[in-house]
Amino acid sequence: MIRHILISVFGAAALSCLAQGVGLSGTVTNKANGQKLQGVTVALAKTGLSDTTDSLGAYRLGSATGILSYRSGGLGAVSLDLRDRILWIHSGADASMRIAFFDLRGTLVARVFQGRMGQGTHAVTLPPGLPAADMLLLRLDGEGLRAVYKYIPSALSGGALIAMDRDGDGAASRSAAVPGAAKSASSGTVAAVADTLRVRRSGYKTVELPLDSYTGVHDIAMEPEGTGCVAGTLCWDFEEGRIPDGWTVYRTEFTGTLLVDGSKPHKGAFALHAKDLLGGKEGNQGGPKRTLKYALPAGFGPVLWGRVYVYTSPARPVSHAGLFNARYPRPGSASTAVNTLDWYEFATYQQTYMGVWHPPEPPGFPEWVLQSDKQLVLDDWACLEWEFDGANGTDPEAADPRVWVDGLELSWPTKFTFSDPAGAAKPKLEKAKDFTFLETGVYLYQGLSLATNWWIDDLAVGSRRIGCN
């Protein structure tokens, strides 16, 4: 089955030129705190060549295998690039071509494309059922020209291409290149490159860096999107050196202390410190809780964005460890008593991050639980953000909670309804008019047998995204 999608069409001018090698690399960091940013898309605007930064914030364009560009009378400039099981074909001319996989003995394994391909950039999904372990040859034939690539399968990246022979003459091909650079064939001089490095990630302002060369190192600092602590946002940096005004003690169960101290500030000299929480047994209901509560001003509205920096040490708890929640009256109710309020929660559970919607507590269930597969950040600061959208437009129910960790939104591979006894139907997520109540600190619903510390700093809530700035 062949899937063929037209993505974009190059300008003809770019393709009338010969190719030039690309070797661009660098790291991407958060301008606000210098942190390396993973999952940033770094792309060349003209060629579509792109990479995604790794856990060290690094990107690399062009030195990856699989990029080969060549010219022929019929085909114009052509390059192939394989990313995440998508074969990108940059074709310089409207031309007939045939692309297929062969085994090392030259037997056809799978056809990828056969027919006329228009000038431009095309994305072709690799055929399913390619052998997962065996190296194959990917061969492109068109207009009297043959290019051969080694295809090395990889579960991680969807495989790699290594250009080996662009004309079928048995000699290894040399150039790793993409079209776009201006080089005069007659004089052999290289003119200036005019392309743009486009750097994008959710939660950050897009960076566009003009390039005059396809080689070089470019380190990029991205500015977080979001309002920061502007007027209308409630922000607590704990720099009073004590529990801030408006917050009062709420839950105190088992062992531990909740105080503002200078042992580990995120910024400034102080942070909120849930110190040496301990008590109960993992797997059993009941655990240490040390929290504060806060009454929001009237008319806060039905959408609550939040941001907080949290540092957890020395181990990731297995038990449900709540870090923040926001509550609102049920539809038609005027009561602001805590035990009458619906609520959204941001927590960790089984050492990963979790978002929950609850009916009033007690009992607080049947609750709708969304669990990520992202391990909670240990022995380091993490910027945690959430959106609790109790309005959710015209939908009859409030929205599922959304959560970001260091600017990357979490997905929820595990979703379930918790109740005790088990078996309750999913609760209706009742819509909100105004959030009225906040709770922060740390509260465990099951035991914690290792004394654990959390530091909480730069907490903020508002009706728009605040960001990590």
Specify the DSSP element, H or E, that contains 13.
Answer: helix 12-15
Residue whose Cβ sits closest to Ca ion: 268
Shortest spacing between CB 297 and Ca ion, in angstroms: 23
Question: Which residue is listed with tokens 């605007």?
Answer: 45
Nearer to Ca ion, 272 or 398 (CB): 272
Tokens 């040490």 -> residue: 313
Question: φ, ψ for residue 2 (rounded to 5)?
Answer: -110, 130
The DSSP 8-state label assigned to residue 336 in this structure reads -
Which C-beta is closer to Ca ion: that of 40 or that of 461? 461
Q: Cis bond leading into 317, ω under 30°?
A: no
Comparison of 238 and 247: residue with beta carbon closer to Ca ion: 238
Provide the token pair at 342. 């619906």
- Which of 218, 267 has the CB closer to Ca ion? 267
Name which of 266 and 374 has its Cβ closer to Ca ion.
Answer: 266
Q: Are 349 and 269 in contact (CB under 8 A)?
A: no
Q: If DSSP codes are grouped into helix, strand and coil, which group holds residue 16?
A: coil
Q: Give how many residues touch Ca ion by CB under 5 A.
A: 6
- 317 touches Ca ion (CB under 5 A): no
Q: Can you tell me the distance from the alpha carbon of 138 to that of 140, in angstroms, rounded to the nearest whole number?
A: 7
Q: Does 457 bind Ca ion (CB under 5 A)?
A: yes
Cβ proximity to Ca ion: between 204 and 238 the closer is 238
456 binds Ca ion (CB under 5 A): no
Q: Cβ closer to Ca ion: 225 or 237?
A: 237
CA atoms within 13 Å, Cβ hemisphere of 175: 19
Please say which residue, 73 or 262, places its beta carbon nearer to Ca ion. Answer: 262
x/- contact string, 122-151, with Ca ion (CB under 5 A)? ------------------------------
| Residues in contact with 413: Cβ distance below 8 Å, sequence separation at least 6, in sequence order | 371, 372, 373
From the list 49-57, 128-136, 295-303, 455-463, the region that binds Ca ion by CB under 5 A is 455-463
Among residues 144, 138, 131, 147, which one has the least CA distance to residue 113? 138
Does 440 participate in binding Ca ion (rule CB under 5 A)? no
Nearer CB in complex with Ca ion: 165/458: 458
Residue closer to Ca ion by CB (options 237, 430) is 237
Over the window 252 to 271, marking each residue x when it contacts Ca ion by CB under 5 A and - when it does not, the resulting string is -------------x-xx---
Q: Write the burial class of residue 178 (CB in 10 Å: 0-12 exposed, 13-18 middle, 19+ buried).
A: buried
Q: Does 237 bind Ca ion (CB under 5 A)?
A: yes
DSSP conformational letter for 225: P
In the complex, least distance from residue 270 CB atom to Ca ion, rounded to whole angstroms:
5
Instruction: Give the C-alpha separation, 248 to 368, whole Å.
Output: 28
Q: How far is the CB of 381 from Ca ion (least distance, A)?
A: 11
**CB 237, min distance to Ca ion, A:** 4
Applying CB under 5 A, the span of 141-149, 162-170, 376-384, 454-462 interacting with Ca ion comes to: 454-462
User: Regarding beta strands 402-405 and 381-389, do their DSSP bridges make them parallel or antiparallel, or are they unpaired?
Assistant: antiparallel
Tokens standing for 272?
A: 């909120």
| Strands of 84-202, DSSP E | 86-91, 95-102, 108-117, 120-125, 136-142, 145-152, 160-165, 177-178, 195-200
Q: For the chain, how far is it from start to end, CA to CA, in angstroms?
A: 47
d(CA 380, CA 395): 38
Residue number with CB closer to Ca ion (144 or 268): 268
DSSP E strands, 31-126: 41-44, 50-52, 58-61, 68-72, 76-83, 86-91, 95-102, 108-117, 120-125
Q: Applying CB under 5 A, which residues contact Ca ion?
A: 237-238, 265, 267-268, 457
